[in-house]
Amino acid sequence: GGVVLLGAFLWRQARVPEPLMPLNLWRRPNLAAVMVIGFCLFAAWVGANFFLVLTLQRVLGYSAGEAAMALLPLALGGLIFATLAGRLLPRTGPKPLLLVGLTVYVAGLGLMAAIETGTSYWPHILVAILLAVAGNSITFVAANVVALAHARLDEQSLVGGLFNTGMQVGGGLGLAIMSAVAAGQIASGSSTGAALLSGYQAAFWTAAGIAALGLLVTAAFLRTAGSKPANRDSGPAPARR
């Protein structure tokens, strides 16, 4: 049903004189690629955070308060690494930051997938959290810049809305996929504790794979800086009287 509605929406947008989403917008350099990157970024992020909480509490025995304190670096790290990315961006350009950010992101998710029943918070879990939040924050900042780089001023709110919508859809779909993977792995396990751990590890590996897909799209399809940006004026010239 959703696919049919989406198709009907696109069909209608191609025919109305003033569409909500002009289809020629997708011809902007890098827009389609960065939409996939943003989708993968949050598809991995939402599910990984969900299963990290479950791992801390149900596998490692943390209380709710202990789990909250253990995850505090996610908030602090996001602020620090996003600020750092903003300062590096004028020097490096967005694509190198995206490549580095997604590589670090995949490494952090891989470390989460390696958590075992006896894993200590320091250094394993803390390092995994810091790598994941560093990679996510750096990628998010650079991807936002790429998404808006070729949009006219009158298109920027639309492009920003599309980018954020893609991330939110990715978050929900990613969590659904990881939940299905984890549930299937847990159902096939013999003992409850081992099956839970195996299911959560499978979810983390799925998140790492989704992030790796974003890295592949960045490396293969994202154009480097230097292509001519779109006209940055506020839109079409006003009609003459």
Q: How far apart are CA 210 and CA 132, in angstroms?
A: 13
pLDDT tops 90 at residue 76:
yes
* pLDDT > 70: percent of the chain: 92
Which CATH number fits the domain that encloses residue 160? Answer: 1.20.1250.20
Q: How far apart are CA 101 and CA 153, in angstroms?
A: 28
3-state SS of the chain: helix, strand, coil percent to 5? Answer: 80, 0, 20
Domain that holds residue 209: 50-221
Residue 77 domain-assigned? yes
Residue 188 domain-assigned? yes
pLDDT in tens, 4-58: 888 898 888 888 888 888 888 888 889 999 999 999 999 999 999 999 999 999 9
Residue 71 domain-assigned? yes
Contacts of 202 (CB under 8 A, 6+ apart): 181, 182, 184, 185
Confidence grade of residue 229 (pLDDT, cut at 50, 70, 90): very low
Taking the alpha carbons at both ends of the chain, their separation in whole angstroms is 46
pLDDT of amino acid 226: 42
Residue 20 domain-assigned? no
Residue 43 domain-assigned? no
Confidence grade of residue 87 (pLDDT, cut at 50, 70, 90): very high
30's torsion region: left (phi>0), alpha (psi -120 to 50) or beta?
A: left
Mean pLDDT for all residues in the chain: 91
Global pTM reads 0.89
Residue 211 domain-assigned? yes
Residue 26 domain-assigned? no
Domain count, the chain: 1
pLDDT tops 80 at residue 185:
yes
pLDDT in tens, 187-211: 887 667 889 999 999 999 999 999 9
pLDDT tops 90 at residue 83:
yes
Residue 233 domain-assigned? no
